[in-house]
Structure 1
């Protein structure tokens, strides 16, 4: 495999990886939106002293409060970190792609110069 072929293969691989990461970010953002939209369901059904009371009701409400905290941690903090990490990786891959494109252009120029040199001899 020539160096140019190798670079083109690397470029293609990076471009495919970039596409997959962009799709992943979109999917995570959709999931995050679903979390935000469905957050109101944590408080359903609404419990009052007329519907349910006593020790079990208090335990249930405590569990619900913990669930709200966990839900918020996952839907906001954890998903934001995951999205940020992937976006940073996307930026890295874009830089790698740009670098590979430059290397490919230089290699093509080098090959063309060799061809001209051979023709002139």
Structure 2
């Protein structure tokens, strides 16, 4: 396999990776939006002294508060970290693709120069 073919196959592979990563990123952002939209469901149904009170109600309210904290950690912190990591990887793949494209251009120029030199020597 020539160096030019190798570079072209590397670009193709990186482009497939980038497409897959962007698709996954879009899905993950959709999940994060869904999390944000459904956060209020933790407080449903609303509990008031008229509907439920006492030790079980207090225990249930504590569980809800723990759920809110866990929900916040998952939706804001963990998903944000995953999204940022994926965006960084996508940017790195774009950089790699650009670098490979520059290498292809350089290799084509080198091959053209070699061909010119061969024609001139003949």
Q: Does the pair score TM above 0.5?
A: yes
Q: After TM superposition, where is structure 1 displaced by more than 4 Å over at least 4 residues in a row?
A: none
Q: Which runs of 5+ in 1 are unaligned?
A: none
Residue equivalent to 1:96? 96
| Counterparts of 1:44 and 1:77, CA distance in 2 | 23
Q: Secondary structure at the match of 1:36?
A: helix
Residue equivalent to 2:79? 79
| Counterparts of 2:48 and 2:36, CA distance in 1 | 24
Q: Which runs of 5+ in 2 are unaligned?
A: none
Residue equivalent to 2:59? 59
- Whether 1:105 aligns to 2:105 is yes
Q: What is the total number of aligned residue pairs between the two structures?
A: 121
- Whether 1:16 aligns to 2:34 is no
Per-residue CA deviation, residues 85-116 of structure 1 (Å, 9 max, x unaligned), is 11111111111111100001111111112222
CA offset at residue 39 of structure 1? 0.6
Residue equivalent to 1:42? 42
Q: Secondary structure at the match of 2:20?
A: helix
